[in-house]
Amino acid sequence: MEELLFIRQDVLPALLRGLRISLMLIIPSGLCGFALGVFVGALRVYGSPWVKRLTNGYVIIFRGFPLVVQLFIWYFGLPHIGIYLTPFLASVLGFTLCSAAYHSEYVRGAFQSIKGGQRLAAQALGFTKLEMIRTIILPQAFRRAVPGCGNELIYLIKYSSLAYMITCIELTGEGKVIASETFKYTEIFFMVGLIYLLLTSLATLSLRRIEDKLRIPGFDNYNP
Amino acid sequence: MRAMGEQKEVLKVEKVTKKYASKEVVKEASLAVNEGEIKVLIGPSGGGKSTLLQCINFLVTPDKGRIWLEGKEVLHSQKKNLYEYRQKVGMIFQDFNLFDHLTALGNVEIALLKVRKMTKKDARDRAVAELERVGLRDHIRKYPAQLSGGQKQRVSIARALAMDPKVMLLDEPTSALDPELITEVHAVIKALGAEGMTMVMATHQIGFASHLADEMLFMEDGIIVETGAPAKLLLQAEYARTREFCAKLTGRYGETR
């Protein structure tokens, strides 16, 4: 009884507070990361040689550095050059840039999977390059990229927990605080884990929905 | 074949050359097509027919040569000039190249909307009309994957026609089709010819082509070896190589006349 009361009065409010912060980290990072990823992915396929080199370099660095290290750089490093970010902003920036690097890889693959003949057909009709990418290639590439990019979103939900390393107290952070006050590590982190599982399950379900909505006969594993 | 009225030159190609590595795939190819004329390129595979057609609308940039449409030279290095020119040159590909994410209707509509900037309603009406013209009224809502090869090629013809091309380039339009589907595409092309569409077509379907063509061009190793009326080229070609090629084809495809 006492236990239940403790959970209701102390644990749940703290975890919900943390969950709110987590969602505030995940949603903008997910959206901006995806948008930037599509942009970078497109540049890596259709950019000039110089642009390709630049964007490829970006991906190498942001996929190669551990995310925690990237967060440390944004939060602890930038003040040395006079830029002060709040823990929250540093986290969103770190997640967005890292996530975009991964997204761009899925998007690049998707762009490259679109048959070259369709490009020729669009050109032959008088499409400008930009209009062709926007209306012919992107809608198809987007569909091909959804499964991979969805995977990246699932990762993001979980690696958002790293924000507490730079003092942005989100779900994991709140859990850590209560756990160290009460020494109920197992119970509390189990609950924290379950909440992440809930989030990833919701994300998986909505991604399935999106995939179904976008499904077109003849694309991928469509079964009429 | 049509009676020759006043001759208006629609397309002129002068000494177009294309090299890949050190191999000249097209060597100084020249041709001129008058309004309503149908020219057919024949010759062995790998002879440069496809590359020549792609050079004509700069899908492949020729290394040398000049091209005129209705007396105006195409300045392909100026993007705007190039895009405008391409709108006036319809292109039909061997493997259709439909846009996989769009219905038959969407395939025809999209360039009207995005390139010609027509209103939604005008684009829709035009697209429906063109699809009806190629006999696909009942299939306008289908996606490419739900269409047969012959239907796909007819959609691609409708897509090109919707742009009001001055000339159509057809690159082996029936080579990827099953024999029983070829007829429906041939019927559409024939109808186009009867309506006076100016066309340059590469094909191996000699029988069909010889009925349609005003002139045939035999192309081998990147060179237009010989040009002439179908009867002359198929039966009394000047060059031994042309005779040999045509004899094989007419043998394979039956009677030509």
pLDDT, one tens digit per residue, over A207-216 is: 999 988 888 8
Q: Are B92 and B170 in contact (CB under 8 A)?
A: yes
Per the listing, tokens 């079964």 go with A223
User: Nearest CB to A117: which of B84, B97, B111?
Assistant: B97
pLDDT of residue A197: 96
Interface contact flag, B114 A127, Cβ < 8 Å:
yes
Q: Which candidate, B229, B134, B128, places its Cα nearest to that of B191?
A: B134
Is residue A223 over pLDDT 50? no
Mutation target to probe the B interface, by most B beta carbons within 10 A, among A111, A115, A118, A125 is A125
The radius of gyration of chain B from alpha carbons, rounded to an integer in Å, stands at: 18
Instruction: Please give the Cα distance from B118 to B133 (Å, whole number).
Output: 20
Is residue B87 over pLDDT 70? yes
Which CATH architecture group holds B9-253? 3-Layer(aba) Sandwich (3.40)
Instruction: Please give the Cα distance from A168 to A18 (Å, whole number).
Output: 10
What average pLDDT does range A159-182 have in this prediction? 92
User: Nearest CB to A135: which of B90, B93, B114?
Assistant: B114
Residue of A nearest to B141 (CA): A217
How does residue A203 score in pLDDT terms, banded at 50, 70 and 90?
A: very high
Cα B50 vs. chain centroid, distance in angstroms? 10
pLDDT tens figures, B203-222: 988 888 888 899 999 998 88
Q: Are strands B199-202 and B223-228 parallel, antiparallel or unpaired?
A: unpaired
Q: Take residue A90 and report the two structure tokens written for it.
A: 């540093």
SS3 state of residue B56: helix
Q: Is B103 touching A (CB cutoff 8 A)?
A: no
Q: Are strands B167-171 and B199-202 parallel, antiparallel or unpaired?
A: parallel
How does residue B1 score in pLDDT terms, banded at 50, 70 and 90?
A: very low
**On the CB side of B80, how many CA atoms lie within 13 Å of its CA?**
0
Task: Tell me the torsion sign for CA atoms A102, A103, A107, A108.
Answer: negative
Closest CA of chain B from A134, distance in Å: 10
Q: What is the pTM of this model?
A: 0.82
Interface contact flag, B100 A124, Cβ < 8 Å:
no
**On the CB side of B27, how many CA atoms lie within 13 Å of its CA?**
11
**How high is the ipTM of this complex?**
0.88
Domains of chain A: 14-214 (1.10.3720.10)
Q: Which candidate, B41, B37, B32, B33, places its Cα nearest to that of B4?
A: B37
pLDDT of residue B244: 82
Contacts 24+ apart (CB under 8 A), B222-226: B222/B18, B222/B24, B222/B25, B222/B26, B222/B27, B222/B29, B222/B47, B222/B48, B222/B51, B223/B27, B223/B28, B223/B29, B223/B48, B224/B29, B224/B30, B224/B31, B225/B43
Q: Which residues of B touch A121 (CB under 8 A)?
A: 91, 93, 97-99, 156, 159
Helix axes A171-182, A185-214, angle to 10 degrees: 160
Is residue A7 over pLDDT 80? no
pLDDT of residue B209: 87
Q: Which residues of A touch B143 (CB under 8 A)?
A: 216-218
pLDDT of residue A155: 94
Q: Spell out the domain ranges in chain B.
A: 9-253
